[in-house]
Amino acid sequence: MQIKFVSILVNDQNKALKFYTEILGFKKMADIPMGEYRWLTVVSPDGIEGVELVLEPMAFPPSKIYQKELFDAGIPSTALITNDIAGDYKRLIELGVVFRGEPRNMGPIVAAVFEDNCGNLINLVEPLIGPK
């Protein structure tokens, strides 16, 4: 078995696609009409080949509550790994990304949480030990 798709709930697929491609630098992989919504995925140019992030529309009403509760509690929806958190933090700040604080050393990692403008908090993490 392998992980192929990982979903993140988004409140607007168009806005999410723009953020994840134009701001984070991901590439659009799939964009297939599915009725009112789309099967919309992006891939990281630095990520594991074949793994796609699904920009999942919040069509199921409880998903809106779940996303808001995570956001309000300060709990990230997912994490992205970087080899240069200082450089990525600076670049993303310059692009207008809202962070919930500066990168902090947390032992085996340095991490900073940012808003993806689609209702999610994302943990940006640089591992300090092990393979990067």
For position 36, which CATH number holds?
3.10.180.10
Give tens-digit pLDDT for 81-96: 999 999 999 999 999 9
β-bridge mates for residue 41, sequence order: 30, 54
Q: Which residues contact 122 (CB under 8 A, 6 or more apart)?
A: 76, 77, 78, 79, 80, 113, 114, 115, 116
Secondary structure E strands in the chain: 5-10, 27-34, 37-43, 52-57, 78-81, 104-105, 109-115, 121-127
- On whether residue 88 sits in a domain, the answer given is yes
Which residues span the domain enclosing 11?
Answer: 5-127
Number of domains the chain is built from: 1
- On whether residue 86 sits in a domain, the answer given is yes
- On whether residue 132 sits in a domain, the answer given is no
Give tens-digit pLDDT for 13-71: 999 999 999 999 999 999 999 999 999 999 999 888 899 999 999 989 999 999 999 99
pTM recorded for the entire structure? 0.92
Q: What is the reported pLDDT for 131?
A: 58
Q: What is the reported pLDDT for 130?
A: 67
